[in-house]
Amino acid sequence: MKNVLFYSALLLGLAGLFTSCVDERFTDDPSCVISFSSDTISFDTLFTTVPSRTASFLVYNHNKKALKISSARLVGGEQSLFRMNVDGRLPDPSNRVTNIQIKAQDSLFVFVELTINPTEQDAPVYFEDAIEFIVNGVKSEVKLIGYGQDAIIFRGKSWKQDTTLTDNRPYLIFDYIHVAKGATLTLKEGTRLFFHSNANLIVDGNLKSKGTLEKPVLMRGDRFDRMQDVDETPYDYLPAQWGSVYLQAPKGNHEINHTIIRGGEMGVFLVGMGVTYPKLLLKNSQIHTMKQYGIYTRNASLTVENSEISNCGKACMAIIGGESKVVHSTIANYFEWDSREEPAVLITNYILNDNLVYLFPITSSVFENSIIYGNHANEITLQKDTFGS
C-alpha cells in the first residue's frame, strides 16, 4: 500500500510541474472556504497488520479565486495509524502537508490508508482520527474511522495431526490450509474462516464442521469493503472472492453442520477414486454465491439435509456418479453476476474430457421433500452416457 501512495504522489507531482506556471490570484478572505466530497472516510473491519484498501476523497474550491491551504494534517500526528497523500504530496514526519494551492473552481485528491497494530483483544476495536485543513485561518476536517480485529493468520499451513479451531478469534487464510492424510480438522461452533483471494481449504484427511444454530461456522472471503457501484455492494455479496473447499481424500468421512459457506470460486468439491466412496453429510447449512458450483461430487457419497444451496454461476449441485440423497432442502439458482447455462441440479454418470468419455456409475440419487427452482425453464437435468450404445 505504501507503493500505491508513492506512485500516486509521483504522478500527481509530475502533473503539477506542467501547471505551476499558471498565474493565479489568491484570496485570504476567511469566508472563502473549501468543501469535501465526503465528511467521513470509513474503513470497514480490518484485520490487524494487514493494510487497508486505498480510500480517497476530493477537496473542492468553489470560489472564484484560488486558495492556499496552509496546512493539512493528521490530528493524531506521529502516532496516527492512518496514512495520507494530499495532491500528490506525502506528509512530513509529523504527518503534516503545508502550502497547498488549489485553483479557483478546481479540486484535488486526498488518498488515505490504514494499518492497525495488534490490539490483543478478541473483539473488534474502534479507531478514529481526522485530517484537519486550515484555509485563511479557518479550520475544517474530514473524519477517519475504522475497526481493527485481531486474527490468527495462516499462510500455506498444513496439519499432519488432528487439529481443532475455535471461535476465540477469526482465522485469516492466505494461500491455503491443508489437512494431511489421516488427520481430522474440527471446526468448533462459531469458528470464522476468512479466506484471502484464491485461498483454499484442502482436506486429504477428514473435516468436521460443528456449528450450531446460535453459532454457525462461517467460511467467506476476507474483504469487508464495498464496490464503487451505485448500490455500494459489499464484496462479501460477490462470488469468486476466495477459492474452494476441496475434500479429496479417497476414503474421507466428512460432516458439515450449521455452516455457512459463501462467495467463493466453488463451495464443496468432493471426489472419490475407487469403489469405496468418500462421504459427506451436510446438515442445516448454507452454500451460496459461488462462481462455479455450490457442491460438485464425483464418485462419492453425498447426503444433504435441511440445507440451502443457491445462486451459483454453474449448477448449484453437480452430481457425477456415486450416491446422493437430498432431504428437506432448497436448491435455487438466481445467479445474477453472469449468464448461466447449467441447471440448478445436474446429475450424470459421465464426464467428457478431450473427446474421451469417463464413466462414473450412479448407485442411487434420491431427492425427498425438497425444492428445486430458479430463473431457467428447466432447473434439473439428468444425463446418461449413450456413447457406447
Helix (H, G, I), strand (E, B) or coil at 259: strand
Q: Tell me the pTM.
A: 0.87
Q: For residues 272 and 11, what is the distance between their CA atoms, to the nearest angstrom? A: 54
Joined together, the cell numbers standing for residue 372 give 428445486
Comparing CA positions, the residue from 3, 12, 163, 150 lying closest to residue 87 is 12
Joined together, the cell numbers standing for residue 152 give 490468527
> In what order do the strands lie in the sheet containing 40-47?
40-47, 138-149, 125-135, 67-74, 96-102
Helix H or strand E encompassing 2 = helix 2-17
Residue 319 burial (C-beta neighbours within 10 Å; 0-12, 13-18, 19+): buried
Facing residues of 221 across strands? 195
Note whether 202 and 182 are within 8 A (CB). Answer: no
Q: How much is the pLDDT for 3? A: 54
Joined together, the cell numbers standing for residue 172 give 485469516
Q: What is the pLDDT of residues 186-217, one digit of tens each?
A: 999 999 999 999 999 999 999 999 999 999 99
Q: Which CATH number fits domain 2-16+23-148: 2.40.10.10, 1.25.40.10, 2.60.40.10, 3.40.190.10?
A: 2.60.40.10
Joined together, the cell numbers standing for residue 52 give 487497508
Note whether 34 and 67 are within 8 A (CB). Answer: yes
Give me the residues of the chain with pLDDT under 50, please. Answer: 1-2, 6, 10, 15-23, 387-389
Note the helical H segments in the chain: 2-17
DSSP symbol at 78: G
Q: How many CB atoms lie within 10 A of CB 89?
A: 19
Handedness of CA 352, 354, 359, 364 (dihedral sign): negative
DSSP symbol at 162: -
DSSP symbol at 308: E
Q: For residues 206 and 209, what is the distance between their CA atoms, to the nearest angstrom? A: 10
Q: For residues 125 and 381, what is the distance between their CA atoms, to the nearest angstrom? A: 49
Q: How much is the pLDDT for 18? A: 45
Q: Could you tell me the residue ranges of all domains in the chain?
A: 2-16+23-148, 152-383
Q: What is the pLDDT of residues 251-289, one digit of tens each?
A: 999 999 999 999 999 999 999 987 889 999 999 999 999
Question: Which are the contacts of 78, defined by CB distance < 8 A and separation ≥ 6?
Answer: 93, 94, 95
Q: For residues 246 and 252, what is the distance between their CA atoms, to the nearest angstrom? A: 11
Note whether 106 and 35 are within 8 A (CB). Answer: no
Handedness of CA 78, 79, 85, 90 (dihedral sign): positive
Q: What one-letter code names the amino acid at 239?
A: P
Helix (DSSP H) and strand (DSSP E) numbers for the chain: 1, 35
